[in-house]
Amino acid sequence: MTSSPIAPGSRLASRLGFSDRIFIGPAARRVARSIEDGLELVETGLAEDVRVADPLADVTSRYLYEAGGKRIRPVLTLLAAQLGEGNTDAVIDIAKALEITHLGSLYHDDVMDGADRRRGVPAAQTVWGNNIAILTGDILFSRASQLMARHGDRAIRLQADTFERLVLGQMHETLGAQPGDDAIEFYIQVLADKTGSLIAAATQAGVIFSHAPSEYEEPMRVYGEKIGVAFQLLDDVIDLSAKPEDTGKVPGTDLRAGVPTMPYLLLKAEPDAASAELAARIDDGVARIADGADPSILDGPLTELRDHGSTQKTLELAPHLDPRRHRRARPAAQGHGARSTHPLRRVLGRALPLTPCRRAHAQREERTLMTKLRLAIVGAGPAGIYAADILLKAERKFDVSIDLFEQLPAPYGLVRYGVAPDHPRIKGIITALRDVLDRGDIRLFGNVRFGEDITLDDLKKHYNAVIFATGAIRDTALDIPGIDAVASYGAADYVSWFDGHPDVPREWPLDAESVGVLGNGNVALDVARMLAKHAEDLLVTEVPENVYEGLSASRITDVHVFGRRGPAQVKFTPLELRELGELRDVDMVVYDEDFDYDEASKDAVASNKQVMVIDRVLQSWRKRDSVNNAGGTASRRLHLHFWARPVEVRTDESGRVAALVYERTQPDGQGGAIGTGELREVPMQALYRAIGYFGSPLPGVPFDKKHGVIPNREGQVLAKDSNQRVPGIYATGWIKRGPVGLIGHTKSDAMETVRHIINDQGSWWQPEDPSEDSVTALLEERGVKWTDLEGWHRLDEHEIALGAPQERARVKVVPRDVMVRVSRGE
């Protein structure tokens, strides 16, 4: 059986006992759950902590974060914290700070190394230039320092000492070994400073800020540092891999660039003539490449180096740096007794596979397990594509063939059809998704409707398992009188319209002068902004022609946004709020009565940076002349109403929206709101509810109507009326957990689901005909005009060409039949 390509970090983790490993035994599993819970808190916090108020800086600072990452440093911090009180607030903050420090260092490293790619996307300096990349790293370092500063001198000192070592390691690597230095010892020290220091800080911080016994601090620091050194040594071997498709690197990238690695240094230290002659040929090749020669001149010597004993010695050296050999030197924990069985202390040196231990009986069964997984994924948005990517990169004992089914003729889901056209920075995630599809190891079937063109029974006949990644695209219902009136809309439909969704009517009624928007999240502000924004300001975006024409004819003068709670409790981000104030010819209107904060709100403003920024923006609008309609000169106004709970939609004689009646609320002292009994009415002719999204049921698949998700346990789908697992059916993304979380959550969701697919190998479906041709034959027999990846490229190029004469990134093609014809070259 074969093993798929995995990231270098995963291979290292497998050797050292992390990542592709789990904890065995009840007590140890509790540790694992604690780490997983902590990692979710870290991931959620990172998504916000890397955001920057400045629009450009916000894009650049989130660029590499959204491209992914293994989060090794936070995992190690959380692991070490199990020696103490576990996931304290300080542990979570420090874990985030160290990961952000690592993230900032990547921007700097790529500039210094002249790297072309990082985490599967173009390196930042290739997109924005060296200066912006360096400054982005600096911003992230400042963010890390802010987090550290919350926890006193000890945290600040740890960050400062670590940063000094990082810089010295990079400086020494740049200068190289000096006369009199032992080249190998010098190289190990560079690795310890440049990589090991930050991982050492991660393990050390877990001990310090979980209040674990102080005698564990030094052993855990040593443990982390040696993991970092071993990581780099293994990466040196990976650099020589003969399979670039496995590593994502051209073999010998470092050596071709003149960067010494451990196999090369050990080769130079060999006394025999053959080794010296090979080293001389490598040196000569490096010099000639520096003078402009073709890098391929080193192909032969590097192949010889890969097969040379010095490369094997590098592999043998890494385990000697594994701090598990130092376990005997660890001091006994005072007060715990010599016979303590703390799960962390039991597992630090044990090999614990990610897939559950099968033991003897399962090892006998392993010979009968299928050696190839035929997997169907329904939904080609981020959730589906990430699941495919993670599975293909995971370590496993079987081959994988993946078919991705999408009901639309174009992939990318809500990134293409749920992000406003004036938010190109968010659409940048498409670059990473495109790179996954363009590798060529995933088949795309677009314009295929699940339940119509292909059914669950069909999938069982041709696949071993299916993942549903269909998202949540319906509006959450609001049960108040009149909500179904004419001109009462769901935000999902409006968003789909202005994003050019092919299944939404081409025309949208924008004849109302005053409109309301219910909700205080990012979607509500997106809807309000796209209602208030002048159409001509969208001409630089990918807005479809029919949408531009519709917005050009809009009669809107006033947009009212209503939220049940106050400014200190909103769900939108400062960036979304600021964008409203930047709208041309639109006055922002806020109301003084909404800013009579209670103590809970004041505390939120003082202690939460995001709330503080939101409050600062809103307070600045209170000072403008246009506040409270006192002299605004713009042709449109955008009103923010806080402490407003909708109770009724009133209609005119024709049944159309005429007004919104809301109850004035007030703080409940705990961050919530309670009614006051005071009713108010705002006239309007249209209303949009943006109070959340909801999943849709899929034919033949269990569905939780109350929560709008597929019932599941960690991605394993459960039967409708029980907690029994349904073999072969899995879920990921919003249809799994509901419409919450950012891209980071989507990736962690997919990892969890993929882990179970790997573990469930013995319970996969046994398809009648798993051949790849059988699916295409089925679709052709049914007359389905499906589109493939080549067809998507054709449509993509067509849209870009449509935008070129107007100097726009693209102009979306909206009608489904046109999309299909272009894709199929008809």
Q: Which CATH number do you get for residue 392? A: 3.40.50.720
Task: Please tell me whether residues 147 and 39 are part of one structural domain.
Answer: yes
Q: Are residues 759 and 772 in the same domain?
A: yes
The C-alpha angle with vertex 76 and arms to 74 and 81, in degrees rounded to 5, equals: 95
User: Which residue, among 201, 195, 427, 210, has the nearest Cα to 321 in the 3D structure?
Assistant: 195
Does residue 352 belong to any structural domain of this protein?
Answer: no
Q: What is the mean pLDDT of residues 210-230?
A: 88
Query: Tens of pLDDT along 328-364?
Result: 333 333 333 333 333 333 322 322 222 222 333 333 3
Higher pLDDT, 43 or 660: 660
Most confident listed range (245-254, 402-411, 631-640): 402-411
Q: Which of 194, 192, 235, 197 is CA-nearest to residue 321?
A: 192
Comparing CA positions, the residue from 192, 193, 266, 201 lying closest to residue 226 is 192
Angle between helices 262-269 and 299-307 (to 10 degrees): 80
- Dist CA 816 CA 340 (whole Å): 66
Same domain for 667 and 756, yes or no, is: no
Rounded to whole angstroms, how far apart are CA atoms 668 and 598?
9
* Contact present, 585 and 591 (Cβ < 8 Å): no
Last residue of a domain, one of 651, 676, 694: 694
**Least-confidence region, from 33-37, 61-65, 217-221, 238-242:** 238-242
Region 195-212: mean pLDDT is 91
Instruction: Report the C-alpha gap between 529 and 422 in whole angstroms.
Output: 10
Domain with residue 689: its CATH number is 3.50.50.60
What's the Cα-to-Cα distance from 372 to each of 4, 247, 400, 463, rounded to whole Å? 12, 22, 6, 10
Given a cut of 90, whether residue 312 has pLDDT beyond it is no
The domain tally of the chain equals 3
Give the whole-angstrom CA distance, residue 251 versus residue 596. 64
> Which of residues 694, 722, 737 is at a domain's end?
694
Rounded to an integer, what distance in angstroms lies between the CA atom of residue 263 and that of residue 260?
Answer: 8
Helix boundaries (H) for 394-445: 413-417, 424-427, 429-438
**pTM of the entire structure?**
0.59
- The answer to the question of residue 327 being in a domain is no
Question: Which stretches within 88-151 are classed as H helix?
Answer: 89-113, 124-128, 130-149
- 727's enclosing H/E stretch is strand 725-731
Decide if 421 is inside a domain.
yes
CA–CA distances in Å: residue 444 to residues 448, 757, 781: 10, 20, 18
Do 549 and 684 lie in one domain? The reply is yes
CATH number at residue 32: 1.10.600.10
- In this structure, are 601 and 724 located in the same domain? no
Asked if pLDDT for residue 100 goes beyond 80, the answer is yes
Among residues of the chain, what percentage have pLDDT more than 90?
Answer: 48
Per-residue pLDDT tens over the stretch 390-432: 999 887 888 999 999 999 999 999 889 988 888 876 666 788 8
pLDDT of residue 484: 96
Cβ(272)–Cβ(310) under 8 Å?
A: no
CA distance 709 to 440: 31
Query: Residue 94: its pLDDT value, please?
Result: 93
Whether residue 674 is found in the same domain as residue 551: yes
pLDDT band for position 447 (cuts 50, 70, 90): very high
Whether residues 509 and 422 share a domain: the answer is no
pLDDT confidence of residue 337: 34
Between 354 and 269, whose confidence is greater? 269
368, pLDDT greater than 80: no
Residue 608 confidence (pLDDT): 83
Model pLDDT, residue 432: 82
- pLDDT band of 138, cuts 50, 70, 90: very high
Query: Are 741 and 752 contained in the same domain?
Result: yes
* Ranges 684-688, 742-746, 783-787: which has the least confidence: 742-746
Residue 279 to residues 183, 207, 260, 302, Cα–Cα distance (Å): 14, 44, 11, 10
In a domain, 525, yes or no: yes
DSSP codes of every residue in 591-618: -GGGG---HHHHHHHHH-HHHHHHHHHH
Structure tokens given for 73: 């440093």
Of 302, 297, 289, nearest to 252 by C-alpha is 302
> How many C-beta atoms lie closer than 10 Å to residue 56's C-beta?
12
- Confidence (pLDDT) at 236: 83
Residue 196 covered by a domain: no
Domain termination residue (choose one: 195, 211, 227): 211
Contact between residue 730 and residue 713 where contact means Cβ atoms under 8 Å apart:
no
pLDDT at 734: 94
Tell me, yes or no, whether 176 lies in a domain. Answer: no
Segment 722-751 shows an average pLDDT of: 85
Angle between helices 273-290 and 262-269 (to 10 degrees): 130
Instruction: Examine residue 186 and state whether it is found in any structural domain, yes or no.
Output: no
HSE-CB at 334 with a 13 A cutoff on CA atoms is: 3
506 and 558 share one domain: yes
Q: Which helix (H) or strand (E) holds 160?
A: helix 152-175
What is the extent of the structural domain holding 525? 474-694
Question: What are the C-alpha distances in Å from 225 to residues 198, 222, 263, 314, 379?
Answer: 8, 5, 21, 17, 42
**E strands in 756-825:** none
Task: In whole angstroms, give the CA distance from residue 548 to residue 819.
Answer: 19
Kindly report, residue by residue over 520-541, the tens digit of the pLDDT. 999 999 999 999 999 999 998 8
According to DSSP, residue 192 is labeled: I
What DSSP character marks residue 119? T
Q: Quick one: how far is CA 19 from the chain centroid?
A: 18
414, 473, 521, 667 from 693: Cα distances, Å = 12, 6, 12, 26
Residues 113, 22 share a domain: yes
My answer on whether 645 and 523 are in the same domain is yes
221, part of any domain: no
Q: At what angle do helices 55-66 and 130-149 cross, to 10 degrees?
A: 80
Q: Is 791 exposed, middle or buried, given 0-12, 13-18 or 19+ CB atoms closer than 10 A?
A: buried
Would you mind telling me the total number of residues written for the chain in this entry? 826
C-alpha 278/C-alpha 276 separation (Å) is: 5
Mean pLDDT, range 123-130, rounded to an integer: 83
Q: How high is the mean pLDDT of the chain?
A: 84
Q: Is there a single domain that holds both residue 465 and residue 401? A: yes
